[in-house]
A and B are shown apart, each in its own frame.
Chain A
Amino acid sequence: MTTNDIIKPENLVYRKPTLLNDTPMHYCPGCSHGVAHKLIAEIIEEMGMEEKTIAISPVGCAVFAYNYIDVDWIEAAHGRAPAVASAVKRLWPDRLVFTYQGDGDLACIGTGETIHALNRGEHIAIIFINNAIYGMTGGQMAPTTLMGMKTSTCPYGREADLHGYPLHITDIAATLEGTTYVTRQAVHTVAAIRKTKKAIRQAFENSLNGQGASLVEVVSTCNAGWKMSPEQANKWMEEHMFKYYPLGDLKNLL
């Protein structure tokens, strides 16, 4: 059997989701955003919600997400995505509404909007990409930066006296009464990607069925910001990030 015998439409196992268009992504090679985008595109396609999804894009690396996934997008001001999503979901209760935010957007400037939208129990899903750094602006310290981690604004490592402690916003979200589903996942291995896909799917279904707010944190790498190769970044994440941000469901009321 030659390769040409295998490469036939009936033997197809995996292809680029059709919702993900051909625009080349601006993300650095090996960036976790690409995998997260792909999962979202796959899930929306599987749910058949292509025409009935409204997504809110953040400010940060994912600001151009609307160029890559073919659903309706709104670009919110920095950190205000959950507030915009709340309004959209209240006006269009039958739509799947989700926000896609990074740690600078969700855990720093948008802390207020995030916590209040989750606490109000808005029927939205929030995808939170946590890479512990400000990737877009050149690798500055974020609220989620680990202790001792070097960034361009804390070149000697994060110190508690000077910079305070990492913010565990997902743990805070789990304590709020308005949230139904809070989980922390990663996309560094095939097994982890499959789990994350399940988690995002559940969050989307909660939004669609009006079952309260869901938050899916995706612990991610920023190999350019961390100054590592994509492979090293995945290893570093496993060794260091997972200690501060252990994976698993924090809350699931359904």
Chain B
Amino acid sequence: MGKIKGAIIVDTERCKGCGLCAVACPLHVLELTKREVNKKGYSFARQIMEDTCNGCASCAVICPDACITVYKKKEE
């Protein structure tokens, strides 16, 4: 059976860095930036582990600002 792989895109300019996505992610794929900030001055969320995401969309469901788009594909 093929493994399911996921990927996310974070709208970093819309992100306010609340960090709830990082808490909700069961695989700890997301992290807030430590030094980098967006135009509003917030640190933002980003995917730190490329291969781990399985596209469960927990991060996107919990994001209060709807910044995360999730894609998922079965590996052949």
A6 touches B5 (CB 8 A): yes
The number of chain A residues with a CB under 8 A from chain B is 35
- Which of B11, B50, B69 gathers most chain A CB within 10 Å? B69
B73 touches A15 (CB 8 A): no
B66 touches A16 (CB 8 A): yes
State A33–B65 Cα separation when bound (angstroms). 9
B62 touches A193 (CB 8 A): yes
Residue in A8, A30, A34 whose beta carbon sits within 8 Å of that of B19 in the complex: A30
A32 touches B64 (CB 8 A): yes
Interface secondary structure of A, over-half rule: mixed
State A8–B69 Cα separation when bound (angstroms). 11
B23 touches A231 (CB 8 A): yes
User: Could you tell me the distance in whole angstroms from the C-beta of B71 to the nearest C-beta in chain A?
Assistant: 4
B64 touches A14 (CB 8 A): no
A residues in contact with B55, CB < 8 Å:
6, 13
User: Could you tell me the distance in whole angstroms from the C-beta of A235 to the nearest C-beta in chain B?
Assistant: 10
B residues in contact with A13, CB < 8 Å:
6, 55, 57, 60, 70-72
Residue in B23, B40, B57, B65 whose beta carbon sits within 8 Å of that of A14 in the complex: B57
With A30-B18, A190-B58, A231-B20 as known contacts, state yes or no: A7 contacts B66, CB within 8 Å.
no
A residues in contact with B23, CB < 8 Å:
231, 234
A6 touches B71 (CB 8 A): yes
Flag whether B61 is at the interface (Cβ < 8 A): yes
Using a CB–CB distance below 8 Å, which chain A residues touch chain B? Answer: 1, 3, 5-8, 11-17, 20, 22, 24-25, 27-35, 38, 189-190, 193-194, 229-231, 234
Using a CB–CB distance below 8 Å, which chain B residues touch chain A? Answer: 5-7, 9, 11, 14, 16-20, 23-24, 40, 42, 50, 55, 57-58, 60-73, 75
Known: A6-B7, A12-B70, A29-B16. 6 other contacts (CB 8 A): A3-B7, A6-B71, A7-B9, A8-B71, A11-B72, A13-B70
The contact sample of 27 A-B pairs, CB cut-off 8 A, is: A6-B5, A6-B6, A6-B7, A6-B73, A7-B71, A12-B70, A13-B71, A14-B68, A15-B70, A17-B66, A22-B14, A24-B65, A27-B65, A29-B16, A29-B42, A30-B16, A30-B18, A34-B64, A38-B63, A38-B64, A189-B24, A189-B62, A190-B58, A190-B61, A193-B62, A229-B19, A231-B23
